[in-house]
Structure 1
Amino acid sequence: MSSSFDKFQKRRLISSYFSVVLSIFLVLFLLGTLGLFIINSKKLADDFKEKIAMTVFFKNEANDTILKNFGAELKKAPYAKSITYVSKDAAAKQHTDIIGEDFLTFLGENPLQNSYDIHIKAAYVEKDSVAKIEQKLRTNPMISDIVYDKQLVNLVNDNIRKVSMWILIISGFLTFIAVLLINSSLRLSIYSNRFIIKTMQMVGATKSFIRKPFVMRSIKLGMLGAALAILALIGLLSYVNAHFPEFGIVEDKTLIILVFAAVFGFGVLITWLSTHFATQRFLNLRTDDLY
């Protein structure tokens, strides 16, 4: 009879530990996924910004020397991410490939101009910054026109600000929910041991002595849950990188390691604090209140 009861108690204890570890794992995995999304969302936004091209057209009077010197200056410019020279012959070929007909046969001459496609660094893709770059380039007398999508620049920056604000709000909300879920799981675990806590207190054990084994056990469970969450996050990163390598989500390993460290640290911190205060609550209760 005693053996059956001991087995039942052992199974209940294992089940309690499993539920705590599972809840910690799921919550930390979601938070870690959110953290990885946040650090990569900036990279994705920057990549999108840097795909917006500014095209600089040159007058026909601009010779090869002028064009080469301009290209050399652009390579030294702090705002230039990449530059591509497009000759008017190459531009004519591109137009012919697009429309499917050689328009030069109708016109008799090439009306297009030599140009440079400039992809600006993300930090400079702002309304004021791009306007200053355009103004500076227009001081070159050999430049006939500068073309880029001004509305797209404004739209991208406005939407990125809105998305960033909502990401911060959602992150804060999910973090609050995560704390509540982990805290509730640990409080239930401590609640099932409330009589043991009070019995130890009644025989003269100090509060710190009683609290220590519960805190240490919870920290170990938190570490286990965090370790499982990190392994799951590594699997998620590997899957996304294998199927979408163009995102380059594993390039910045330092930030990824920081996210993993934050997940592990959060798992340990929240389990320690929750167990400390939950145990303290039952230590301060009167014996009659336990029922």
Structure 2
Amino acid sequence: MGIIAMRINNLGYLIKEGIRGIFLHGFMSFAAVCVTVACLLIVGSFTCLTYNITLMVEDLNKTNEILVYVDEDLSDAEARSVGTLINKVENVYKATFVHKDDAFESFVETYSDKDSLTGVDTNFLRHRFVVILEDNGQFQQTIKDLEQVEGVAKISAARELAEGFTTIQNVLQIASVAVVGVLLVVSLLIISNTVKLAMYDRREEIAIMKMVGATNSFIRLPYVVEGFTLGMVGAGVAFGLEWFLYELLRNRMAAASTLKLIDFVPFQELLLPMIVTFFAAGLFVGIVGSWTSIRKFMDV
């Protein structure tokens, strides 16, 4: 029991020394936490954005609907007759004609400020066909075939939008790896330097402890505790800020009628992976940053 009590007392002393080291160099500790917060905020933001764009791309890729706009110079009867040619295109399951007046009414129903559209001429819209495909795997070829149909002026497909989002997604992934890599290195360096300052101030004490037989683990632990604490504090602050900023942005975007296309999921859906990501990164930066700074002081 005496040995166990002594070990517990030693552990308490070492943890207390680690916490003391944080306040001993308050400015460097503050800088380490701030850089860790900035790093994790950027990591979290890229992760949230990429996740939401991935969901949008998946939803858009599931659609098998294409809007085919006919030449605006065609009469109503001529515009309707284009549907016969569209239905003959391979892989077209069904083509439904939508008159421009009906399209305008649908547009008005989805627009928040209906009064501002009173008296607007519907001629700015075109007759269109809503085309349903049989097989999405032949999407690109079907688009090419539809473009060759006489009377077709323009084709709009959600899949094209999905490809645009996919490009953005790929750019974000590449950018996130580069930015996160740089910021992780900066965080490691600052935490490492913070711990080095604490060890430099106590270098004579460390030398004496080594000479009287203190183990490397006994000497290292306070500094590992210091790095761990800095990393965890940074992770906690960053997580809280990420949650607040994400929900603020999501609510603002939901309220903006021009951004209805971008519908972010609630942060609760991302809660578990974000907690794991933030605190694992904080743990890594804190412990690795402190551990790498200890080595040079271990040789007496």
- Report the equivalent of 1:230: 239
- Report the equivalent of 2:47: 39
Q: How many residues align?
A: 242
TM alignment of 1:137-216, pairs within 5 A:
145=152, 147-148=154-155, 161-162=170-171, 164-216=173-225
Q: Which ranges in structure 1 are unaligned for 5 or more consecutive residues?
A: 1-11, 75-82, 104-110, 119-123, 287-291
Q: Is residue 2:33 matched to residue 1:55?
A: no
Q: Which ranges in structure 2 are unaligned for 5 or more consecutive residues?
A: 1-19, 71-78, 108-116, 255-259
- Report the equivalent of 1:265: 280
Listed one character per residue, the Cα deviations across residues 185-222 of structure 1 (whole Å, up to 9, x for unaligned) are: 22222222222211211211121222223323432333
Listed one character per residue, the Cα deviations across residues 221-247 of structure 1 (whole Å, up to 9, x for unaligned) are: 332332222222222223323333365
Listed one character per residue, the Cα deviations across residues 33-54 of structure 1 (whole Å, up to 9, x for unaligned) are: 2223323433358759959x94
- Report the equivalent of 1:26: 34
Describe the shift of the 1:146–1:252 C-alpha distance in structure 2 as closer, same or farther (beyond 3 A).
farther
Q: Pick the aligned partner of 1:220 from 224, 229, 235.
A: 229
CA distance in 1, matches of 2:131, 2:267: 28
Describe the shift of the 1:46–1:117 C-alpha distance in structure 2 as closer, same or farther (beyond 3 A).
farther
Contact 2:188/2:288 (<8 A) preserved:
no
Q: Which amino acid aligns with 2:155?
A: Y
CA distance in 2, matches of 1:94, 1:251: 29
Listed one character per residue, the Cα deviations across residues 111-150 of structure 1 (whole Å, up to 9, x for unaligned) are: 96452278xxxxx8xxx975234257689x9x96372369
Secondary structure of the structure 1 residue equivalent to 2:222? helix
Q: Which amino acid aligns with 2:129?
A: S
Describe the shift of the 1:165–1:210 C-alpha distance in structure 2 as closer, same or farther (beyond 3 A).
closer
Secondary structure of the structure 2 residue equivalent to 1:56? strand
Describe the shift of the 1:162–1:227 C-alpha distance in structure 2 as closer, same or farther (beyond 3 A).
closer
CA distance in 2, matches of 1:130, 1:163: 26
Listed one character per residue, the Cα deviations across residues 148-180 of structure 1 (whole Å, up to 9, x for unaligned) are: 369x86877666655553443233222222222
CA distance in 2, matches of 1:135, 1:148: 10
Relative to the length of structure 1, the TM-score reads: 0.61
CA distance in 2, matches of 1:45, 1:273: 32
Q: Is residue 2:136 matched to residue 1:116?
A: no
Contact 2:32/2:191 (<8 A) preserved:
yes
CA RMSD of aligned residues (A): 4.7
Relative to the length of structure 2, the TM-score reads: 0.59
CA distance in 1, matches of 2:204, 2:274: 39
CA distance in 1, matches of 2:131, 2:121: 24
Contact 1:55/1:116 (<8 A) preserved:
yes
Describe the shift of the 1:196–1:262 C-alpha distance in structure 2 as closer, same or farther (beyond 3 A).
farther
- Report the equivalent of 1:90: 102
Task: Report deviation, 1:99.
Answer: 9.1
Describe the shift of the 1:31–1:40 C-alpha distance in structure 2 as closer, same or farther (beyond 3 A).
same
Q: Which of 260-269 and 152-161 deviates more?
A: 152-161
